[in-house]
Amino acid sequence: MSTISSIDHLYAFEDGDTISAAMGVKWVNGEVGYGLQQYFNPTTKQVMETDFTKHPVLLYPQPYSSKRGSVVVPEATGQQWYYGNISDEGGILQDGKVKDKFKNLFEVTTLEVNKMTFPALKIKGNLATADDHTDKYIYYKSSYQGKAFTCQQLIPIMTAVGESYKVNISYIGADGSGDNVLADDNDWCKIVATLSRSGAPIDGDVAYKWQRLVNGVWRDVANVKSVTEVSGNTLKVFDAGVEGVEMFRCVVTYASVDYYGIAEVSDIHDPYYIDMGRSQASGAVSVGSTVTYSPKVYSRADGKISTGWTFSFSFTDSKGNALTDMTERTLTYDNILKYDGISVRLEAQKA
C-alpha cells in the first residue's frame, strides 16, 4: 500500500492579511535552543532572551509550489520586506536597500538552501523596547510566475519578571542548513527541542519524549536506525521515516510538568504529491468564511492525476492537540478562531 500526506495551516484573520507561503528561520551563528520570542524585563529595561544583538537570525521566504512539488525561489522584481504592517511606512526596503530608520534592526542578504538562493532578512537588533512590548510581524511579499504571495513571521514579545516556559524547536539538515525538507541533497533532518525558562535554555533535570501524529493520535516514536533515531532532546528523521509531510512533537517534562513543542518534516522524494484543493487561495480565513478541500493526487513524473486513492483528514490545534470535533466540512472562521489556528493533515492511501 502506498501512503502519502500533506499538511495545511489555517488562520483566522479579520483584517484581510494573507499567508500563502511559509517563512524559513536560520540562526546566523548556528545556535539551537533559541526561539524568535523576546522576553522584556520591565524592571531592568532589558531584553532577557532572545537578544538579537547577540543571536542574530535570518528569515527567508519558502513558497511551495504543489505543481512542482517543491519550494521555489521568488521573483526578485517587486519583492519587499515589511515590519509591523504591509504599507509604505512599514516597507523595510527602498531601492533595494534598508531604509535608514530600520538600519539598526535589519540587514538584507541571501541564503542558500538546497542549492537554491533565497532572499533573506537578518534581524540584528531587538524589536522589544522599553516603550513597546507588543508582538511584531515581519512580512515578505513577492511572486512566482506572476502569482503573488505573502508570508509572515510572528515575533512574540512578552513581558517577563518571573518565570515563563516554552519549548523551542530547531532544525538541522544534512546539508547544514536549518532545513526540514528532505530532498535529493538532504537525506535527514535533526529536530532539536530545548525547554527555556523566560527565554534562557534549561540544562537541569529535563526529560524528553518524542511522538508522531498517526491518524489524529500522538504515538511514541520508535528508535529505529536510519529511520527515526531518538537521542534525548534530538530526533533524527530520515526519508524512510516520512511519507509526504509528518508532524512530530516533543513532550518535555520538567519539575513534574509537561511542555510541548511541535515540529513538521516533509519529504519531496515521493513520486506522487497531493494537491489539497483548498477552496480558497490563502490559508487566512476571513469572518463568515468556511474552508473546504477537494484533494487530488498527481504524479511528479508527468504531472497527471493519479486515481485510486482514498483520503482521510485529521486536525490539531495550535498546541498540537488532536481535534475530534472537526471535519473537513466544519472549518469555519469561528472554529479556526476558537482553536487559535488549525493544522489540517490529509493522508492519501492507495492499495
Instruction: Annotate 16-65 with three-state secondary structure.
Output: CCCCCCEEEEEECCCCCCCCCCEEEECCCCEEEECCCCCCCEEEEEECEE
Q: Concatenated DSSP letters for 82-136?
A: EESSSSTTTB-EETTEE-GGGTTTEEEEEEEETTEEEEEEEE-S-S-BTTB-S-E
Identical fold at 20-159 and 165-267? yes
User: What does the pLDDT average to over 187-213?
Assistant: 86
pLDDT at 160: 66
Mean pLDDT of the chain: 83
pLDDT tens digits, residue range 241-283? 887 788 899 999 998 889 998 898 887 666 777 888 888 877 7
Domain ranges in the chain are: 20-159, 165-267, 272-350
CATH 3.40.50.720 fits 165-267, yes or no: no
Using CA atoms, how far residue 19 sits from 44, 139, 320, in Å, is 36, 9, 20
- E strand or H helix at 313: strand 310-317
Choose from 94-108, 212-226, 301-315, 329-343 the range with maximum mean pLDDT: 94-108
The CATH number assigned to the domain with range 20-159 reads 2.60.40
pLDDT reading at 336 higher than 50: yes
